[in-house]
Chains A and B, each alone.
Chain A
Amino acid sequence: MTNSRTVAVAPPAAAPRRVRLARFRDLALVPAILLLVVVGAVIDPVFLTKANITNVLQQQTELSLLVLAEAIILIAGKFDLSLESTIGLAPALAVGLVIPVASNGLGTDLPVALAIPLCLLTGLAIGAFNGLLILRFKLSAFIVTLGMLIVLRGLQIGLTGGQNLFDIPQSVLYLGNAVWLGLPASIWICGALFAAGILALGFLRHGRAVYAIGGNVDAARAAGIRTDRVVWIVLMLGGLLAALAGLLMTGRLGSVASAQGDGMIFTVFAAAVIGGVSLDGGKGTLFGALCGVIVLGLINNILTLGGVSAQWIQAIYGAIILVALILARVTSGKAQD
C-alpha cells in the first residue's frame, strides 16, 4: 500500500494539464449535440417533448452501458469485442435456467428469483475468463475477445436451439420496464453508473491507475500499480455491465432474441471513438463517450421523425456521423486520434 501512495503523489505534475486537455476533448461533441437538437426541433416540434427525449434516452440505455464498459477497457489499453455476445448470452442463459422446457428452457427449473443474479454472474464470469486468457496466458486481447464473441454467440444459439425466448419472468422484465419518478428505471441506472464511472476514473486512485496503465503499462507497473489486477477487474466490470445491459434490453423488448446484440459492437466503438476515446489506450473520458452515445441516439431519432426514405437512411446516418466528427474537430481545434 505504501507503494501505491507514492503513485498517487507522483503524477500531480502532469495531472492538472492532462485533466484540462481531457475536459476539452470532453466538450468537443457538445456543439454537435446542440446543432442536432436545433435541427430536430426544426424538423418536428415533437422532438423537444419530454416523451420523445425520454424515448431517445431509453433506447440508448443498453448501448450506453456497453459503451461505458468498452470505454473503460479501451482507456486501460485493452479491447473487448465479446461484449456484444455477452448482452445476449447472459440473459439467455439466466432465463433458460429458470423457465420450463415447454418454453424452450434448459430443464433445470431453478427458482425464478435466481435469474438476475445468474445473469450478472454470467457476465462477471465471462469477463474473468477473458482476463485469464489475456493476462495469465498473455494472449492478444483483440483476438481473444473476437474468439469469445463467436463462442458466446454460438453457445447462446446452441443452448436455446436458436429459438427466441418469449416466456420471460417478471423479475427480469422489471428493470427494462419500470418507471421511477417519471422516468424509465433504465435511464436512472445508466445515469448513476456513468456518474459513478466519471467520478471513479477522474478522482479515485484506482480510476487514475486505469489511465496510467493505458498510457504506459511498464511505467505504471514501475510506479507500483498492480497493473494485471486492475485490468482484470476492468474486464470483469465490462462483462458485468454487458450482462446488466442484456437485462435492460430483455426487459425493454420483452424477449431474448437469439441475435440479441449481434453486430452491436461496431456501434459501441463508433460511439466511444466519436466521444474521443482513443483506440490506443490511456486517452478519453466517459463523459465524452456518453456524448457519443447521445449523438448517435439523436441522429437515429431525427432520421425517423424526418421520415427519411429507407433506401437512403444508412448513407445519411453515416454522413451525419462524419459531420459530427468534423464539427468536433473544428470546435475543439485538436487533432483526433
Chain B
Amino acid sequence: MLALTADQYAAIASRYPQAVRPRFWAVWRVPALAAATVVYLMFCWWVFGIGQVLANTNWQIAGSYLVQWVTYEYRPTISIDRDGAMAVTFPRFDPIGPNPKPDWMTVDRTLMERHIAAPAPAGATTGGFMAGSSFMAPGTAPAAPTTEPTARVEEVVKRAEVRFSADARLVVTPNHVVVERNGETLMVPLGTGDDVQATGPLPAWAEQKRARDRIIVAFGLSGWAQIDGGSVVIHRRFPGWVNFVFDTNSAFFGKSAREVMHLITAGPRLDPTRSNLALAVNDVLYNPSWQHLDVWTKLLETIVMAFIGTLFAAIVAFPLSFVAARNITPNWLANQTAKRFFDFQRSVDMLIWALFFTRAFGPGPISGMAAIFFTDTGSLGKLFSEALENIDGKPRDGLTSVGAPPIAVQRFGVLPQVLPVFVSQTLYFWESNTRSATIIGAMGAGGIGLKLWESMRTHTNWPNIFYMVILIIGTVFIFDTISNALRSRLTGRVQP
C-alpha cells in the first residue's frame, strides 16, 4: 500500500517536476481532435454550400412528402357555374372509386331549369355526383347536339359540406364559401367572376398569395382546400394505404372482407370465364396502384441476386483460398497471385462490376448476381485464406505422419477446423448482400432497387415506396435472423 500524503506528494512534485507533469500530447490530444473536427465541419459547410442549400429548401414539401408515405387523399372538385348550378366531381383515377358516397361530405341537390348553349363536356359542369358517368346520372336530360340555347331541367347541387374534423368544415353554396376551423370563420363570396376576396381578415390557417387570387385553407393533416373563383378543390387526407387489396376497377372494390369471402365461397360468378377465387387473386396481384405481383417478383429477383451471387462466390473462393494460404500451398508465387487476385476483385468494387455487367448483360438479376459474385469472390477469398493461415497445424502433421494422401490431409486435418468459419462468413455476406443488392439494383441491375428508384424519381408514389421499403426491411430482417441463428449454431458447436 502506497502511503503518500498530499504534503509529501507536493514535496516530491516540487523536486521532480518533470516526473509529474503530464505529457504535452496527453493534455492536448482531445482538444486538438475536437478543434480539428470543428474546423473540418466548417470547411465542409462552406465547400458543399450546405447553408445555402438548406436555406433554399422548401421544408414544407419535405413534410408533405413524408406525410404521403402513410396517408392518401381524395380530391373532389366543387364547381360553381355562373347560373348558380353546382356540381361535385372526382377525378377519373381518384382512389374513391366509381360510386363515391363519402361520409365526410354532405351534398344537397335540387332540380333546376338551366339555359345552356351547348352540351357540356362529360363530367365538367353538368356532372352529378357520379364521376366518369355523369351522362347516366338520374335526372339528367339527354344532351341535345345543338348550339342553340335550350332550357332543360337538371338535378344540380345546391349546397355541399365537407367535414375535415369535428370542428373544421367547409360549406359551399352558390353564393359563398364558408370555412370554419376551431371556432374561427372565413367567408368568401362567390359569383362575381374570377376574383376571390374574403370578407374580413384571413385567419392564420388561410393563405392568399396575391390579392384577388386563390385562397388556400389548410386543415393540418386532414387536408386542405383551394378556393378559386368558380370552383373549390378539396384535398381530403386520411391515414393509411388506400385500395391496398382491391383497386377501384376490381369487382370486389368497396366490399368488406366478409362479403368478399362470401362471394368467393358461395357467390355467383362475377366473371363467367373464371371462378371468383381466381378473379379475386388476379385482382389482388394485378392491382394497378400497388402492383403486388410486380413488387414481389422484383423482391424475389433481389433475393436471388444476393443468394446466387454469394453462393457462387463462396464456391469459387473455396479452392482459391487453399492456393492463397501460405501454410497450405508453400509456393510464394501462387500465394501472391491468388492474394492479389482477391485484392483486385475486392477493390474494383461492386459499383464498377455492376455497371460493367449491366452494360454487358442488360439490366436484370444476372448483372447484379455477377457483380456480387465478382466482388465477394475477393472478399470471401481473403477471409477464407486468413482463416486457413490461422489453423492449428497439429492435425495435419498427424495425418501426414501416418501417410495420408494430400486430399485426406486437407479433408480431415484442415477442413473440420475452418468449415464453420467459412460457412459463417458466407452466411454473413449473404445477409449483407441482400442489403447491397437493393442499391446495385437501383444502379441498373434490376430487382426491387430499380423499381424503388424509378418510383422515387416521380415524387408522387410515396405510399408504394414505403410499401417496398417495408418489404426490403422485412426481408433483410428475416435473413438477418436466419443467418444469425445458423451462425450461432455453427460456432456454438465448435466452441462449446
- The answer to whether A and B interact is no
Which residues from chain A sit less than 8 Å from chain B, CB to CB? none
